[in-house]
Structure 1
Amino acid sequence: MEPMDLFGLQALLICALIFVPLEHVLALRTQQKILRKGIGTDVIYAVVNGAFLKICLVLMAAAAMSASAWLIPQRITTTVSGQATWLQVIEIIVLADIGVYASHRAFHAIPALWRFHAIHHGVEELDWMVAFRAHPVDQIITKAVSLLPVFFLGFSSEAIAVYFIIATGHALLLHANVRMNFGPLKWLIATPQFHHWHHADQRDAYDKNFASHLAIIDALFGTFHIPGSKMPEKYGVDEPIPTDYIGQHGYPFVRGGQQGQNTADAIVRPATET
């Protein structure tokens, strides 16, 4: 793997060429600047953490495939990988998003996990770059829960590659500063409006909209929240998240004592309140 591929600089530039104009044409908040507060930190996340995540995914896939060779009958993995690529991609999206939903909900419900996930929610202005801001512990656990079954079952490399392209583009769109009308499809697929409400610092939106692709999963589990055509008034969390890259990585580990626990409990909003 070449350094340029590892750090994804070319891909990041391509994404910028797509989403910067898109956010200008379909801007939700027209006064929000391209170089908004914290954008430099998010660029570091995209480059450094992106490279780290790629290495982890390669190791994760190798481990899962090795275990699969011992535990799963070859006829099953052959059947799975022998399906049409488009069908495999759909199956991967469904399987992975069930895992994302479960892990994402756990990160909101368990105070110790929320400390890591709070880094992603600490942003007060949403745009496409926010998709990259996630603590490595958050990323690794979420990817393990959602993708290990995919690697384990033997889906083809082509289908997995297509899934990653779709998943990346969709994640950037969900966080983008855009207003888009998906009509009744909003009940089926995750939309920017759907995910912006997940980031809302408003009580009626707490612990809602956990899926990354299929909003219908939230509809089935009672966590779907889109109030008409409205968009959130504000984003972020009520706890003080460090603004610098290093501080954010250390934040989950330096919060201690009963005071930190109480703050986490207040922000987590246990499922009994939803």
Structure 2
Amino acid sequence: MEGALRVLSFVALAGLAFAPLERLFGRNHGPRRDRWTDLGFATVGGLLVYAGMILVVGAALSGLDALALAEPLLAAIDAPRLRGALEVACGLLLFELVGYLYHRAAHAVPALWRLHAVHHSSERMDWLASFRQHPLEILLVTFAQNAPLVLLGLPLGAHALVLLALKLNTVFVHADLRIPPGPWSMVIATPRFHHRHHDRDAAPRNFAAMFPWLDRLFGTHDASPAGAVGLPGAPAPRTLLGLLAYPFARRVRASGE
């Protein structure tokens, strides 16, 4: 019950934080289609993910814990504050690198794209759109990103901070906030950067979640503003149940097709 309350509390706090900001600094203030669908993903979908985390991903990561390094890589650093800061920084970098590679695979491997297409079906970018993700994809990417941190023996405190930072970042980069490009755009992802990734007609670019310089490093960066977002071709279902079943439909148009 406590875990379920944490899931719902995060959704409520995200709304309380970002909805007023979008009213002040956003572009889209008209009626929002699919609001209840995305609220369903944020609540019902979030609870399904939580159950999957407990029953499947948590058990798998616990199994990996037996293979973890006896001593964390940075255990030799005597200064606790420096060690703690470096642990969080290294954890973020590794988590983000694995996420970048998975994200590219999700656009290239048909089976993964079927799941990821659910996220791209949103036709409006705002804080609520960040929750539109298929539970199976969340479980897959969560295991992929957390497994290296477990194997390297990242302390629980640093690991928790990494997860919190990326969770907040996910809501932020989807939010409808007009943040102009500047020097910060080279270091940290902004809504403009990620909205371009959701462009309906553009080739898949901007795969990083937090560090846009990864896209520059791998040649997948695009600084252009986003056009219309969503899936190309025939629209996806607009209901929660329809989108949960969508990856198993006979025909899902390939990424970039």
**TM-score w.r.t. structure 1 length?**
0.84
Q: CA deviation at 1:234?
A: 0.7
Distance 1:80 1:116 in 2: 42
Distance 1:125 1:40 in 2: 13
Q: State which drifts further: 59-68 or 105-114.
A: 59-68
Distance 2:247 2:128 in 1: 22
Q: CA deviation at 1:241?
A: 0.4
Distance 1:133 1:115 in 2: 14
Partner of 2:30: 32
The answer as to 2:256 corresponding to 1:254 is: no
Partner of 2:167: 168
The answer as to 2:50 corresponding to 1:54 is: yes
Number of matched residues? 252
The superposition leaves residues 186-214 of structure 1 with CA deviations (integer Å, 9 ceiling, x where unpaired) of 122211111000001123xx210011111
Q: State which drifts further: 115-124 or 73-82.
A: 73-82
The answer as to 2:215 corresponding to 1:226 is: no
Partner of 2:231: 237
Partner of 1:194: 193
Partner of 2:146: 147
Partner of 1:272: none
Identical positions, percent: 31
Q: State which drifts further: 134-143 or 240-249.
A: 134-143
Q: CA deviation at 1:68?
A: 3.2
Partner of 2:75: 79
Q: Give the AA of the match of 1:242.
A: P
Q: Give the AA of the match of 1:216.
A: W
Matches within 5 A, 1:73-152: 73-76=69-72, 79=75, 84-152=83-151
Distance 1:65 1:42, change over 3 A: same
Distance 1:88 1:55 in 2: 28
Partner of 2:5: 5
Distance 1:63 1:115, change over 3 A: closer
Q: State which drifts further: 84-93 or 48-57.
A: 48-57
Q: CA deviation at 1:12?
A: 1.7
Distance 1:80 1:169, change over 3 A: farther
The answer as to whether partners of 1:93 and 1:213 remain within 8 angstroms in 2 is no
Distance 1:114 1:145 in 2: 16
Distance 1:73 1:226 in 2: 40
Runs of 4+ in 1 over 6 A off after TM superposition: 80-83
Q: Give the AA of the match of 1:47.
A: T
Q: For structure 1, which runs of at least 5 residues remain unmatched after alignment? A: 270-274
Q: CA deviation at 1:24?
A: 1.0
The answer as to 2:40 corresponding to 1:44 is: yes
The superposition leaves residues 134-153 of structure 1 with CA deviations (integer Å, 9 ceiling, x where unpaired) of 11222122112111111222
Q: Give the AA of the match of 1:202.
A: D
Q: Give the AA of the match of 1:198.
A: H
